[in-house]
Structure 1
């Protein structure tokens, strides 16, 4: 009979660490869920009580003020009048967060609360999810468009956005930027499934918003400054690029018969299984810029791609472009490999985005009539 050997110290330690990390995650999730549930139940109780006294115009305000005064004495300043108004709004924004059965579970026992702290495989936007914290829900409440809110809920869970990352994506109007060039079916997909990466056209948005660089819009801005700023803020830039991007290299030199060329940024897309080359341009895009990125893409396809890699994609990030120049320079055969998107150094307003939508529709209509 062979003697049982002791577990190697490193393996044993890893096992103990996994147990503790799992327990810590479970505790945090339970605490977050408890806060979300208690706030939702308080909001529900406030709304129901207000409905009982709706014949009095000032009933709701007095109810919240009196409740805040008493709760602050027993539970601290977290239940101020302004916070109670927010908690009330939370219930109104997410009225279907819990089913009637789950409401009973939430108030019955600690063990049932732990059960609600586990992800539901049949989860739908608008329902409770333990990986969405109270701060996440506070941020989501600002989104009035229900389709957009559902999209942000789904993407937060799929990409594990922190509440700060979620806020940045909402402020940069990510949903609107992705939705502005899609049809009704694509819009419904965003609201029910989030962003789906299936083809090259699904990867690039227009415009890209890179306000996090803090660069002024100035004619003195040069490509090297833009590139350096992007690399110094690589984590946030990857968030703006979207899911699947992995950074490979900057300023990669390629040499052709003694002539040197430099690719600004090289990424690999883990979903599409292909290289993505990014060329940065300050100023308006020209047909020469498109020819240059075509050169880089062709080179990568022939010299860098290995078995299992799909065809290389190219993206020019520029401050301005002419869509007609892009269309006629590339031709139909290249338009699924080479893309041009504008970058914005400031967050667009809804009015600015609306004007872009109108202009985009005009461009699409004019193209349809000319084809």
Structure 2
């Protein structure tokens, strides 16, 4: 039998693997950045279209206000999954209202000629003509002239920060403070964690009263270790996962459903002595009702096997709950 020879790589292999690793990390960040810009542009445009719809339908109360948002949340969630809750749709509206003047048309004219707040306070539809598209047509034509894809690309160039940054910025009510944090985020390349920390610590207010503003700004540029966001964390950004219709993690129900749907293979993995008795087995302890995720009987050991599914870290509370289930099963479901 010939002895396997372990391959010997050249000393510069470490350079190769280092270069490839750097390339992949850069590619991941670039991909996330590209998704984020389109996501942000899409949400701005969604907010714009909702506001316009409300404006043109102000005399039709049933389609105006909270009812419209509730209906949109219901229908969009059904079609596209999570990410379109009532609160998220309100965020899209707020995003448009806060950044309505950021977009310029190809001809250099403002896409919005008057502030939308002026519209909402105006009862007459004829008093103000707010929306002008790139070609001067009604805004309902904007999906065709130019195409939606071209529109989103054009819009995405105007929003250099990630959507998570804008969500945090929207919580800053003072417009000057919001512009300051936005500018510093761009200049310093702040992660959303660094932005959140600076807003929470009132960095804007502290800079205003500081006698050495330049020193304060330079200090603010430096991230703390906890501010760093890895490429893996960027990819798992909940906003991105929601936008792409992906799940960030399995829930206990998902895990249970997957096990049940592949029950035969699951039982074979456990061994031939396991007999499946049921799922979500109900039990009552005192005045409280509980459910056991999976219940088996082991033929060889002649005992019940209780399985409680958890996707997170096992805690003392989980251990206490399992002891509760085992004691009940021993007292009520066995002859001992």
Q: Could you say which TM-score interval applies, normalised by the shorter chain? A: 0.3 to 0.5
**TM-score, structure 2 normalization:** 0.46
**TM-score, structure 1 normalization:** 0.42
Structure with the largest fraction of strand: 1
Higher relative contact order (CA 8 A, sep 6+): 2
Higher-Rg member (1/2): 2
